[in-house]
C-alpha cells in the first residue's frame, strides 16, 4: 500500500504534496511581486512570513520581516530549529531562485533567494 510521506516541522505535520503545492504557489506570488516591483504593506509581509512559518514549517525569527528586494527576497532563520531536509525541499520547489546562506554574528542565518 502506498503511503504519502509526511514531515513534522515545528510540531506541524505537512504532507510532501501539501508542502510542494503551497511552496509552488508562494514562489509564483513572490516572483510576481519581484518582477512587478510591487510595494507590500506591513500586513502583507506578515502574511507571507506566516505562510513560511505555519504552512511550510520554517523556523523564522519572528522579530524580522520577510525582506523583498529587486532581485529576490530574504528570510531570517533560527538555526537551532532548522532542519536541512526542509531547506532541501524548499530549494527543490523554489527552482526559479538561487539559495544563498548569509550567517552572521548573532546566531541567525539569513537565507537570500535570488531570482534566476
Q: Dump pLDDT digits (tens) for 94-111.
A: 999 999 988 777 878 889
Model confidence at 87, pLDDT cuts 50, 70, 90, reads confident
CA distance 103 to 60: 14
Torsion of CA 55, 22, 103, 63, to 10 degrees: -40
Q: Dump pLDDT digits (tens) for 33-78.
A: 999 999 999 999 999 999 999 899 888 888 888 899 999 999 998 8
Amino acid at each position: 500500500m502506498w503511503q504519502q510521506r509526511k514531515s513534522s516541522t515545528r510540531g506541524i505535520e505537512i504532507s510532501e504534496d501539501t508542502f510542494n503545492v503551497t511552496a509552488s504557489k508562494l514562489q509564483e506570488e513572490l516572483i510576481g511581486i519581484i518582477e512587478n516591483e510591487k510595494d507590500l504593506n506591513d500586513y502583507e509581509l506578515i502574511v507571507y512570513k506566516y505562510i513560511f512559518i505555519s504552512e511550510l514549517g520554517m523556523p523564522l525569527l519572528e522579530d524580522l520581516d520577510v525582506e523583498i528586494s529587486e532581485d529576490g527576497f530574504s528570510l531570517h532563520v533560527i538555526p537551532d530549529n532548522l532542519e536541512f531536509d526542509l531547506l532541501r525541499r524548499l530549494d527543490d520547489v523554489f527552482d526559479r531562485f538561487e539559495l544563498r546562506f548569509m550567517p552572521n554574528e548573532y546566531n541567525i542565518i539569513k537565507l537570500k533567494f535570488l531570482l534566476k
